[in-house]
Structure 1
Amino acid sequence: MTFKLSQITQALNIDFNGNDIDIEGIHTLSEATSTQLSFFNDSKYASQLSSTKAGAVLIDKEHAALLPLETIALITDEAYLKLALASKFFAHKLQSKGDEPVLGQGCDIDPTVNFGKNVVLGENVTLLAGCYLGDNVTVGSNTLLHPNVTLYHGTQLGKNCIVHSGTVIGCDGYGFAHTKLGEHVKIYQNGNVVVEDDVEIGANCAIDRAVFGTTYIRKGTKLDNLIQIAHNCDVGEHTLMAAQVGLAGSSILGKNVVMGGQSATAGHLEVGAFATIAGKGGVTKSLEGGKMYAGFPAVEIRVWRKMQAALMRLVKNR
């Protein structure tokens, strides 16, 4: 979908000076191209303004001069709210009608499975009763979907994967902008999910599509039941997660991370490769790889054990 910048700014009630360029989507300052719209609402990203390739940026007047000369400044004091309103332009149009998928050899498809448009399956794919695969979904060879698995539009599922019943991949991330009156405005989630090869996902998990860009589950990862992975996360290769783990948006896990049951991360942080988070651990800041952590907020487990011992001594001496 392509829109003239003037179409978007008219809907947002914003004036601009410059060429009426074509806009094909929305992305971050660091990732946007000359045909994409971006936004600036946090001073910690000010260093990215001078190097952005975005065609136009929603930005406050104070920082507009930091943009490259070829980037159009769209002046607003509500950049995040205007982003939410603009995101609707690029939302995928949902419809109930689908087409027959492109099937590789040896596929076994239950007659109750439903497909959107442009679905492509590799060889020996097995889809059990009640599954739904939305528009532009691809599934690699030798992958098995248990009953009632849902793959939203644009999801890419690799080879040799197993997805258990009730799991939803590609649902909307939890993203809203807020008006000055406290109303919540939906940010349409226009990215997708990519699950690489040899991944197993347990029952009743939810993996959210990206706001823009991609949520990644890297190859060899194994997820237990009842896990929530939010938008724009990147789960490293061969990661293990026990039941009820939760990742907040834009969490990045290195390879071979292990997360115990009911552990979780805050958003926009990184956990290094080969780190282990003990059960119920709460990750509130980025953590170095190759170590074991426990507690809330999560600290190295040797420190956590000393804290628990000291607390117990205090209780006993009262």
Structure 2
Amino acid sequence: MQLNLEEIAALCKCTLEGDPKKIIQGASTVESANENEASFISNPKYTSFLKTTEAGVVFISDSAKRVEGKNYLVSKDPSKAFQILLEHLYLEEKSVSAFEGIHSSAVIHPEAKIGKNVSIGPNAVVDANTEINDNCIIGPGSYIGRDCVIGEKTMLHANVTVRELVSLGKRVIIQPGAVIGSCGFGYILDENYRFKKLSHVGHVIIEDDVEIGANTTIDRGRVGDTIIKKGTKVDNLVQVAHAVEIGENNLLVAQSGFAGSSKTGAYVTAAGQSAVGGHISIASGVTLAARTGVVKSIGEKGKYGGFPAKNIDKFRRQQVLMDRLEEKFKQVKQLEKKLQQFEEMMKKNQK
């Protein structure tokens, strides 16, 4: 597919600065785009790339400084406008898989209910009493256990595992390798001091418009439910333990983890490798910086960092002091040496 800049400006609702007949055939990063590709800059610190980019057009904001001789598509949100072009160029032409309908190698239990326009890829398995609603895509090698509900327009990519008693809402997207509904990590010591596994019979409930990244794991509760509320986006390699409740429109970034029965409000962001302890509550509007460790509940919205978690400004001040610690230690040693010399001089004078 190809479009000229006049067509792209109308499609993306941008103001064109440049040649309206210039043809665009693809998209790439601002560093690597060629003369037939579009790119974008949404962060002002990357505007220096405008001097060197060979992109045929660059999506920029109203306030961005221009470099002469370039084509620009100007909007309030260049990333959003660029996304419209991406979807038009790529997603409308190709589906996720060339396999359509129910593949002959898929194994579907006779008591499962399959809706209209459902695609089930090669070697996928659907167990008993599971309901897959209309317009869903189940990728190759995926497994859906018994007594599950899969909402309309939900997409499971290849090799996703959805165990028994899981409910997925509408328009849920799950990336390859994710495991939904595995047992929580719970054991007791028996009379012989050996670990005995606790049964986990709770459900997992994933609400509408949730996205779950590759190789993320979401465990079921021992008796209660694990809930991911609507609009939340979960990155790759995230661990959500038993009976956790994640609020609406959260962002859980790679390698973050939530211990059993923890709970978040709405619009919480957990940056990479942040960790939340068990039975802890986090208020709506909280942002956890990368590698933050939360050991007690956070009741006020704001930004937090460090271990244990504290207000981000306090954490940064402490980090500055820690960086100066070696210098201060050297200064103290020098003062100690001078003090020792002074004391020796005073003793000599007393004699």
Residue 253 of structure 1 deviates from its aligned partner by 0.6
Residue 151 of structure 1 deviates from its aligned partner by 0.4
Deviations 1:101-129 (A, max 9, x none): 21111111114111111010111000110
TM-score by length of 2: 0.62
Deviations 1:4-30 (A, max 9, x none): xxxxxxxxxxxxxxxxxxxxxxxxxxx
Q: Give the structure 2 partner of residue 300 of structure 1.
A: 311
Q: 2:165 aligns with which of 127, 135, 154?
A: 154
Tell whether the 8 Å contact from 2:108 to 2:125 is kept in structure 1 after alignment: no
Amino acid at match of 1:219: K
Q: Give the structure 2 partner of residue 104 of structure 1.
A: 115
Tell whether the 8 Å contact from 1:241 to 1:260 is kept in structure 2 after alignment: yes
**Structure 1 gap segments, 5+ residues each:** 1-95
Tell whether the 8 Å contact from 2:151 to 2:168 is kept in structure 1 after alignment: yes
Q: 2:238 aligns with which of 227, 239, 242?
A: 227
Tell whether the 8 Å contact from 1:143 to 1:158 is kept in structure 2 after alignment: yes
Tell whether the 8 Å contact from 2:124 to 2:140 is kept in structure 1 after alignment: yes
Whole-Å Cα distance in 2 between the matches of residues 186 and 260 of structure 1?
A: 32
Residue 308 of structure 1 deviates from its aligned partner by 1.1
Whole-Å Cα distance in 2 between the matches of residues 149 and 155 of structure 1?
A: 13
Residue 213 of structure 1 deviates from its aligned partner by 1.7
Tell whether the 8 Å contact from 1:275 to 1:288 is kept in structure 2 after alignment: no
Q: CA RMSD in A?
A: 1.4
Q: Give the structure 1 partner of residue 153 of structure 2.
A: 142
Residue 309 of structure 1 deviates from its aligned partner by 1.6
Q: Give the structure 2 partner of residue 114 of structure 1.
A: 125
Whole-Å Cα distance in 1 between the matches of residues 112 and 119 of structure 2?
A: 13
Q: Give the structure 2 partner of residue 3 of structure 1.
A: none
SS at match of 2:114: coil
Structure number with the higher helix fraction is 2
Residue 163 of structure 1 deviates from its aligned partner by 0.2
Residue 99 of structure 1 deviates from its aligned partner by 3.2
**Structure 2 gap segments, 5+ residues each:** 1-106, 330-351
1:271 pairs with 2:270: no
Which protein has greater RCO, CA pairs closer than 8 Å, 6+ apart?
1
Whole-Å Cα distance in 1 between the matches of residues 288 and 181 of structure 2?
A: 26
Residue 290 of structure 1 deviates from its aligned partner by 1.4
Whole-Å Cα distance in 1 between the matches of residues 109 and 154 of structure 2?
A: 22
Return the index of the structure with the highest Cα Rg: 2
Whole-Å Cα distance in 2 between the matches of residues 115 and 302 of structure 1?
A: 50
Q: Give the structure 1 partner of residue 215 of structure 2.
A: 204
- Identity percentage over the alignment? 39
Tell whether the 8 Å contact from 1:100 to 1:115 is kept in structure 2 after alignment: no
Residue 180 of structure 1 deviates from its aligned partner by 5.2
Deviations 1:256-310 (A, max 9, x none): 1000000011101101001000000000100123111000111110110111122
Whole-Å Cα distance in 2 between the matches of residues 287 and 193 of structure 1?
A: 25
Runs of 4+ more than 2 Å apart = 96-101, 179-182
1:176 pairs with 2:187: yes
Tell whether the 8 Å contact from 2:242 to 2:260 is kept in structure 1 after alignment: yes
